């Protein structure tokens, strides 16, 4: 009950947030929150460390951008198209990667994501180093003009809340419980008769699709899809966001991504502009050394200890 | 009839004057947002120096126009289009920035063009070189100041072909700028009866050019054209030296070389090279005086990109001062009707496609014994008239010209 009250409070805050803050920054926060939450679905709840999620995030951005700009699809169809293709990429990469565990799994996902990156660099439809620019925002459901930042914000909020609810539902479903069992002891889950590979693959595809939805939405917000979304830096950044916020907690990745994106944004124009990666690195080291459960994980531990 | 005309003229003049009187500067501040490469391949060509140059222009106005202060904000775009677009959008939406300046790297300039088009804000491009910026990719408020790839092609490309360099192989930076430069030079070479035997694209930015140089050697072309810039050009020339490309009888044509590149390479390596420049500090009294001031602040002589940033910002501020308004259309109209006369350009004309047309110069790098001291690197061998360098307005494919 307490958590659902917390969620309602957060939703209420998000509904009024654009009155106080710059909507585009908020939309960026939301997209990254969804991305990190999708990533957390397989790392936090499935125990699979993927180092290739940028391929889904950036790939969907390109697919959506192309669908909206060249084919002139309606905005929501374009986002669905991008997310769907990211899911298909997830199916292909997942099929290969889930056969191995631990570091080998991470390396396979990284290698496949790098292949996707080089595909994006050299394909003419992505615009290579220039990126895909001037993606039209269009109209939501053919009615609401998304060129207006406030309308766009509520459109993004709807997508991200839907994605987040899907993750919450998945984690609490029997499927999520089996996933947790596999994470905690894969052999035992197998001996109980669960088809471990299928569960892992399904979780991987779901995570890839939602990461794709986040990337697709981001490309519509900024009207731009670029290589930095598909670069392995992005895969690393989402790991950082998830760990900092709290691995295996539902709200953690959202909090972590909010902290990282806000920091990047605020530091970009100050005296520390050239030092952003260093600052983030120091935060990461501090997080791993002193509060391993992440921000939300530590708060939850304190909460439990004191009540 | 004539009385009626006079009355009409008088009325319209009155209307204009009252318009000017009521026009004012939004927010009481003229804010210029400068995006440049502070840490990457183009940080010597543009970078910190462009901020100094823009500040020098602002200082000429005493830091204020009337009651309105002039402010300069700057950020490092890291040569990434998404960072530049996001920063520009935020500046325009929340920080009250009136105009964007500099924007080295074509992909960055194009991304900011998208933002500026939506926000209807003046964009003063200095560093980005691609000619599409005032052709297919033009926007009504996008002004391209310093040079473009067409001018470089006409200058260096034309000069090299004239000296018998009729077979070319290109080393091209793999983004919009490299493509544009290669395309423009290819047109010049082929029009002069030469031919292009091949090309290879290298990633941007690149540090290892060995495999590309080997391909250039294997091509057998007389001229290896470097369709890149900044640190990429320096690295390519160094790699070519190590692999004995010039010793093997081939020649290098640097298609976009800056004074800072010559400084980095040294006269021993660079001597005899021909280059097209928009600005050379040791050209006349005005350029020498301005460059000396720049040198005192930075310890370096300015590149064309830096001087161009100064000129663009100065001309923009002058138009605001003359009209008393920072309204985009008013300022733009004033900028177009006033010729550009400063340390950078004489008699420069701002066209409706956004192109600032001014003379360019074909220069040759001096031999070490010809140079009298540091920064005395170039001798101007030909002045390329603006129309020849940039083409006519009729040739521009800009849809809003």
Q: What is the pLDDT of residue A141?
A: 85
Q: What is the pLDDT of residue B329?
A: 92
Name the residue among B319, B302, B312, B297 with its Cα closest to residue B102: B312
Cα–Cα distance measured from residue A132 to residue A154, given in angstroms and rounded to the nearest whole number: 24
Whether residues B81 and A133 touch (CB distance < 8 A) is answered with yes
- DSSP notation for B327-385: -HHHHHHHHHHS-B-SSS-SSBEE-TTSBEE--EEEEEEPPTTT--STT--EEEEEEE-
DSSP state of B280: -
Cα–Cα distance measured from residue B365 to residue A173, given in angstroms and rounded to the nearest whole number: 73
Residue A34 has pLDDT above 60, yes or no: yes
Classified as helix, coil or strand, B247 is coil
Whether residues A273 and B90 touch (CB distance < 8 A) is answered with no
Whether residues B86 and A273 touch (CB distance < 8 A) is answered with no
> Picking from A10-14, A65-69, A272-276, which range would have the lowest pLDDT averaged per residue?
A272-276
Q: Does A25 touch chain B (CB under 8 A)?
A: yes
Q: Does B395 touch chain A (CB under 8 A)?
A: no
Q: Does A226 touch chain B (CB under 8 A)?
A: yes
Mean pLDDT of chain B: 89
CA distance to A184, A250, A295, A297, per residue, from A172 (Å): 16, 11, 22, 18
Whether residues A24 and B114 touch (CB distance < 8 A) is answered with no
Window 176-215 of B: residues touching A by CB (8 A cutoff) are 176, 203-204
Cα–Cα distance measured from residue A187 to residue A55, given in angstroms and rounded to the nearest whole number: 30
Strand-pairing partners, residue B227, are B172
Which helix (DSSP H) or strand (DSSP E) does residue B85 occupy? Answer: helix B81-90
Strand-pairing partners, residue A203, are none
Rounded to two decimals, the pTM is 0.84
Nearest-CA distance from B33 to chain A in Å? 11
Nearest CA in chain B to A128: B175
Nearest-CA distance from A120 to chain B in Å? 13
Whether residues A226 and B82 touch (CB distance < 8 A) is answered with yes
Name the residue among B354, B178, B369, B158 with its Cα closest to residue B271: B369
Q: Does B83 touch chain A (CB under 8 A)?
A: yes
Cα–Cα distance measured from residue B339 to residue B109, given in angstroms and rounded to the nearest whole number: 24
Instruction: Report the pLDDT averaged over residues A72-76.
Output: 91
Q: What is the pLDDT of residue A255?
A: 93
Whether residues A268 and B80 touch (CB distance < 8 A) is answered with no
Nearest-CA distance from B93 to chain A in Å? 8
Name the residue among B35, B143, B33, B34 with its Cα closest to residue B84: B35
Phi, psi at B108, each rounded to 5°: -65, -45
Nearest-CA distance from B364 to chain A in Å? 32
Cα–Cα distance measured from residue B345 to residue B360, given in angstroms and rounded to the nearest whole number: 9
Q: What is the pLDDT of residue A200?
A: 94
CA atoms within 13 A on the CB side of B132: 17
B175 interaction partners in chain A (CB closer than 8 Å): 128-130
CA distance to A265, B167, B194, B241, B310, per residue, from B213 (Å): 40, 16, 21, 10, 36
**Residue B252 CB neighbour total at 10 angstroms:** 22
Nearest-CA distance from B56 to chain A in Å? 21
Q: What is the pLDDT of residue B15?
A: 47
Name the residue among B139, B39, B121 with its Cα closest to residue B352: B139
Mean pLDDT of chain A: 90
Cα–Cα distance measured from residue B105 to residue B130, given in angstroms and rounded to the nearest whole number: 9
- DSSP notation for B273-302: -EEEES--TTSSHHHHHHHHHHHHHHSSPP
Nearest-CA distance from A150 to chain B in Å? 13
Whether residues B86 and A228 touch (CB distance < 8 A) is answered with no
Nearest-CA distance from B174 to chain A in Å? 7
Q: Is the dihedral of CA B285, B286, B287, B293 positive or negative?
A: positive
Instruction: List the Cα angle B259/B210/B128 in 5-degree steps.
Output: 35
Say if residues A108 and A97 touch (Cβ distance below 8 Å). Answer: yes
Q: How many CB pairs under 8 A join A and B?
A: 68
Q: What is the pLDDT of residue B54?
A: 95
Q: Does B323 touch chain A (CB under 8 A)?
A: no
Dihedral of CA atoms A259, A262, A263, A267 in degrees, nearest 10, equals 180
Q: Does A88 touch chain B (CB under 8 A)?
A: no
- pLDDT tens per residue across span B290-336: 999 999 999 999 999 999 999 999 999 999 999 999 899 999 999 99
Which helix (DSSP H) or strand (DSSP E) does residue B51 occupy? Answer: helix B47-60
A134 interaction partners in chain B (CB closer than 8 Å): 114
Q: Does A109 touch chain B (CB under 8 A)?
A: no
Q: Does B38 touch chain A (CB under 8 A)?
A: yes
| Helices assigned H by DSSP within chain A | 2-20, 23-43, 53-69, 75-97, 102-122, 149-172, 174-184, 186-191, 196-222, 227-230, 232-245, 252-267, 276-290, 294-306
> Picking from A74-88, A242-256, A271-285, B374-388, which range would have the lowest pLDDT averaged per residue?
A271-285
Window 137-176 of A: residues touching B by CB (8 A cutoff) are 147, 149
Return the structure tokens found at A199. 């569960």
Residue corresponding to tokens 């899907």: A166
Residue A171 has pLDDT above 70, yes or no: yes
pLDDT band at residue B2 using 50, 70 and 90 as cut-offs: low
Dihedral of CA atoms A216, A221, A223, A227 in degrees, nearest 10, equals -50
Nearest-CA distance from B211 to chain A in Å? 18
pLDDT band at residue A283 using 50, 70 and 90 as cut-offs: confident
Instruction: Tell which phi-psi region holds residue A88, choosing left (phi > 0), alpha (psi between -120 and 50) or beta.
Output: alpha
Name the residue among B147, B160, B209, B202 with its Cα closest to residue B179: B202
Residue corresponding to tokens 């009187």: B21
Q: Does B87 touch chain A (CB under 8 A)?
A: yes
- pLDDT tens per residue across span B246-279: 888 898 988 999 999 999 999 988 888 889 999 9
Cα–Cα distance measured from residue A203 to residue B235, given in angstroms and rounded to the nearest whole number: 46
Taking only Cα atoms into account, the Rg of chain B, rounded to an integer number of angstroms, comes to 22
Nearest to A228 among B80, B174, B176 (CB): B80
- pLDDT tens per residue across span B190-235: 998 899 999 999 988 898 999 999 999 999 999 999 999 999 999 9
Q: Of B11 and A56, which is predicted with more confidence?
A: A56
Whether residues B81 and A134 touch (CB distance < 8 A) is answered with no
Q: Does A262 touch chain B (CB under 8 A)?
A: no
Say if residues B34 and B73 touch (Cβ distance below 8 Å). Answer: yes
Return the structure tokens found at A104. 């080998």
Phi, psi at B156, each rounded to 5°: -70, -50
User: Percent of chain B beyond pLDDT 70?
Assistant: 94
In sequence order, the 6+-apart residues with CB closer than 8 A to the CB of B48 are B38, B298
**Residue A270 CB neighbour total at 10 angstroms:** 10
Whether residues B81 and A226 touch (CB distance < 8 A) is answered with yes
Classified as helix, coil or strand, A143 is coil
DSSP state of B1: -
Whether residues A269 and B39 touch (CB distance < 8 A) is answered with no
Return the structure tokens found at B126. 């200095």
Which helix (DSSP H) or strand (DSSP E) does residue B100 occupy? Answer: strand B99-102
Whether residues A226 and B93 touch (CB distance < 8 A) is answered with no
Return the structure tokens found at B42. 């183009």
Whether residues B107 and A134 touch (CB distance < 8 A) is answered with no
**Residue B340 CB neighbour total at 10 angstroms:** 21
Say if residues A32 and A214 touch (Cβ distance below 8 Å). Answer: yes
Nearest-CA distance from A81 to chain B in Å? 22
Name the residue among A214, A207, A288, A260 with its Cα closest to residue A40: A207
Nearest to B110 among A22, A121, A133 (CB): A133
Nearest to B114 among A134, A229, A274 (CB): A134
Residue A139 has pLDDT above 70, yes or no: yes
Helices and strands in chain B: count of H runs, count of E runs = 15, 15
Whether residues B106 and A22 touch (CB distance < 8 A) is answered with no
Residue B373 has pLDDT above 90, yes or no: no
- pLDDT tens per residue across span B35-49: 999 888 898 999 899
Nearest to B111 among A133, A147, A268 (CB): A133
Say if residues B389 and B351 touch (Cβ distance below 8 Å). Answer: no
Return the structure tokens found at B302. 């300015």
Name the residue among A298, A211, A287 with its Cα closest to residue A243: A287
């Amino acid at each position: 009950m307490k958590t659902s009250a917390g969620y309602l409070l957060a939703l209420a805050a998000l509904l009024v947030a654009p009155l106080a803050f710059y909507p585009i920054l908020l939309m960026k926060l939301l997209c990254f929150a969804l991305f990190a939450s999708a990533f957390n679905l397989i790392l936090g709840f499935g125990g699979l460390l993927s180092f290739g999620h940028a391929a889904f995030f950036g790939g969907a951005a390109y697919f959506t951008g192309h669908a909206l700009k060249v084919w002139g699809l309606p905005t929501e169809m374009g986002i669905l198209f991008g997310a769907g293709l990211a899911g298909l990429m997830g199916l292909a990469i997942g099929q290969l990667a889930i056969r191995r565990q631990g570091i080998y799994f991470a390396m396979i996902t990284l290698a496949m994501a790098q292949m996707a990156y080089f595909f994006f660099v050299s394909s003419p439809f992505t615009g290579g180093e220039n990126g895909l620019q001037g993606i039209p925002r269009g109209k939501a459901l053919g009615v609401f003009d998304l060129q207006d930042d406030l309308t766009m914000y509520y459109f993004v909020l709807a997508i991200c809340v839907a994605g987040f609810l899907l993750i919450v539902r998945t984690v609490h479903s029997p499927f999520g419980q089996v996933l947790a069992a596999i994470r905690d002891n894969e052999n035992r889950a197998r001996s109980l008769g669960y088809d471990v590979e299928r569960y892992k693959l399904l979780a991987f595809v779901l995570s890839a699709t939602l990461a794709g939805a986040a990337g697709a939405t981001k490309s519509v917000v900024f009207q731009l899809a670029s290589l930095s979304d598909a670069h392995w830096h992005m895969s690393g950044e989402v790991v950082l966001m998830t760990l900092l916020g709290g691995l295996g907690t539902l709200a953690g990745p959202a909090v972590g991504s909010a902290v990282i994106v806000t920091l990047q944004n605020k530091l970009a124009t100050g005296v520390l502009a050239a030092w952003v990666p260093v600052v983030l690195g120091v935060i990461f080291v501090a997080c791993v050394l002193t509060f391993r459960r992440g921000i939300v994980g530590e708060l939850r531990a304190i909460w439990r200890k004191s009540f | 009839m004539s009385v009626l005309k006079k009355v009409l003229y008088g009325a319209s003049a009155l209307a204009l004057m009252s318009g000017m009187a009521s026009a004012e500067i939004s927010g009481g501040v003229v804010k210029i947002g400068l995006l440049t490469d502070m840490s990457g391949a183009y940080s010597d060509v543009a970078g910190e120096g462009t901020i100094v140059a823009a500040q020098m222009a602002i200082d000429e106005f005493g830091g204020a126009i009337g009651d309105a202060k002039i402010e300069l904000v700057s950020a490092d775009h890291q040569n990434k289009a998404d960072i530049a677009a996001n920063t520009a959008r935020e500046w325009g939406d929340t920080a009250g920035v009136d105009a964007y300046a500099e924007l080295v790297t074509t992909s960055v300039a194009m991304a900011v063009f998208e933002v500026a088009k939506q926000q209807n804000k003046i964009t003063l491009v200095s560093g980005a070189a691609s000619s599409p910026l005032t052709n297919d990719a033009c926007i009504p408020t996008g002004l391209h100041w310093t040079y473009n790839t067409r001018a470089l092609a006409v200058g260096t490309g034309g000069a090299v072909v004239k000296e018998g360099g009729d077979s070319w192989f290109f080393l091209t930076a793999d983004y919009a700028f490299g493509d544009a430069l290669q395309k423009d030079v290819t047109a010049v070479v082929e029009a002069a009866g030469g031919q292009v035997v091949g090309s290879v694209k290298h990633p941007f930015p690149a540090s290892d050019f060995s495999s590309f140089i080997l391909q250039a050697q294997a091509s057998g072309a007389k001229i290896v054209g470097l369709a890149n810039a900044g640190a990429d050009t320096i690295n390519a020339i160094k790699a070519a030296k190590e692999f004995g490309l010039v010793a093997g009888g081939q020649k290098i044509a640097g298609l976009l070389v800056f004074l800072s590149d010559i400084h980095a390479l040294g006269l021993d390596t660079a001597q005899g090279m021909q280059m097209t420049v928009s600005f050379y500090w040791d050209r006349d009294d005005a350029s020498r005086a301005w460059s000396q001031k720049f040198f005192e602040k930075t310890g370096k002589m300015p590149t064309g990109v830096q001087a161009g940033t100064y000129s663009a910002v100065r001309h923009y501020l002058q138009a605001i001062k003359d009209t008393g308004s920072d309204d985009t259309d008013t300022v733009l109209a004033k900028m177009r009707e006033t010729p550009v006369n400063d340390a950078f350009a004489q008699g420069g004309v701002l066209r409706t496609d956004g192109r600032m047309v001014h003379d360019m110069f074909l220069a040759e790098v001096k031999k070490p014994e010809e140079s009298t001291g540091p920064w005395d690197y170039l001798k101007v061998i030909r002045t390329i008239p603006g129309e020849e360098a940039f083409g006519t307005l009729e040739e521009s494919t800009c849809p809003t010209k």
